[in-house]
Structure 1
Amino acid sequence: MVVMTHRAQMQTEDFETLARIGAREVEGLRLEFIDGKLGVKAVPDGDHDRIVLWLARICMQHRPELWLHVERGLAVQEYRSGRARPDASMAPDDAFVGQGEWADPAPVLMVVEVTSYDSDTDARDRNEKPRAYAETGIPVYLLIDRERCEVIVRSEPDGMRYESIRTVPFGKDIDLPEPVGITLPTEQLKDWVR
Structure 2
Amino acid sequence: MTAMAHEPLTQEEVLLEGFLALDTPEGFRAELIEGDIVVTPPPDGEHEDYISLVLEQVLERSHTKMQFSGNKGLKLRSPLDILKDHVIPDGTFAPKALRLFRSGESWMPCTGVAMVVEVTSSKPSVDREQKRRSYARSGIPLYLLVDRGKSSVTLFSEPEDDDYRQHCRIPFGKHLTLPEPFGFDLDTSEFV
- Answer yes or no: same fold by TM over 0.5: yes
1:82 is the counterpart of 2:85 = yes
Paired letter, 1:129: K
Post-superposition offset of 1:165: 1.0
What is the alpha-carbon root mean square deviation over aligned residues?
1.8
> SS in structure 2 opposite 1:112?
strand
Compute the displacement of 1:179 (Å).
Answer: 3.4
CA deviation after TM superposition for structure 1 residue 59, in Å: 0.6
Amino acid aligned to 2:93: M
Instruction: Note the C-alpha offset of 1:177.
Output: 2.3
Which SS does the other structure have where 1:11 is aligned?
helix
For residue 129 of structure 1, report the CA deviation from its aligned partner.
0.4
Compute the TM-score of the two structures, normalised by the length of structure 2: 0.85
State the Cα distance separating 1:50 from its structure 2 match: 1.3
Aligned partner (choices 68, 78, 102) of residue 107 of structure 2 = 102
| Equivalent AA in structure 2 for residue 178 of structure 1 | E
Deviation per residue, 1:162-191 (Å, 9 max, x gap): 00011110111111223332311111101x
How far did 1:54 drift?
1.4
Tell me the amino acid that sits aligned with residue 84 of structure 2: S
User: 2-side partners of 1:138 and 1:13: how far apart?
Assistant: 26
- Aligned partners of 2:139, 2:86: CA distance in 1, in Å? 15
Q: Which residue of 2 aligns with 1:27?
A: 26
- Offset of residue 38 of structure 1: 0.3
Q: Which moved more, 1:148-157 or 1:71-80?
A: 71-80
Post-superposition CA distance 1:128-180 (Å, at most 9, x none): 00000000100000000111100011000013210001111011111122333
1:127 is aligned to 129
User: 3-state SS of the aligned residue for 1:12?
Assistant: helix
Q: Percent identity?
A: 34
8 A Cα contact 1:33 1:83, kept in partner: yes
Query: What residue number does 1:185 align with?
Result: 187
CA distance in 1, matches of 2:38, 2:102: 26
User: What are the within-5 Å matches in structure 2 for residues 170-181 of structure 1?
Assistant: 170-181=172-183
Query: Structure 1 stretches of 5 or more lacking a match?
Result: 1-7
> Any idea what SS the aligned residue of 2:42 has?
coil
Question: TM-score scaled to structure 1, two decimals?
Answer: 0.84
- Kindly provide the amino acid, as one letter, of the partner of residue 157 in structure 2: S
CA–CA distance in structure 2, aligned partners of residues 145 and 59 of structure 1: 19
Residues 179, 156 of structure 1: CA spacing in aligned structure 2 closer, same or farther, 3 A cutoff?
farther
CA distance in 2, matches of 1:76, 1:147: 26
Q: Secondary structure at the match of 1:179?
A: coil
CA contact (8 A) 2:92 2:113 kept: yes
- What's the offset of the Cα at 1:105? 0.7
CA contact (8 A) 2:137 2:159 kept: yes
Q: How do 1:27-46 residues align onto structure 2 when only pairs under 5 Å count?
A: 27-46=26-45
Question: Could you tell me how far apart the structure 1 residues matched to 2:185 and 2:43 are?
Answer: 25
The offset of 1:99, in angstroms, is: 3.4
Number of residues of Structure 1 aligned to a counterpart in Structure 2: 176
Q: Which of 158-167 and 74-83 deviates more?
A: 74-83
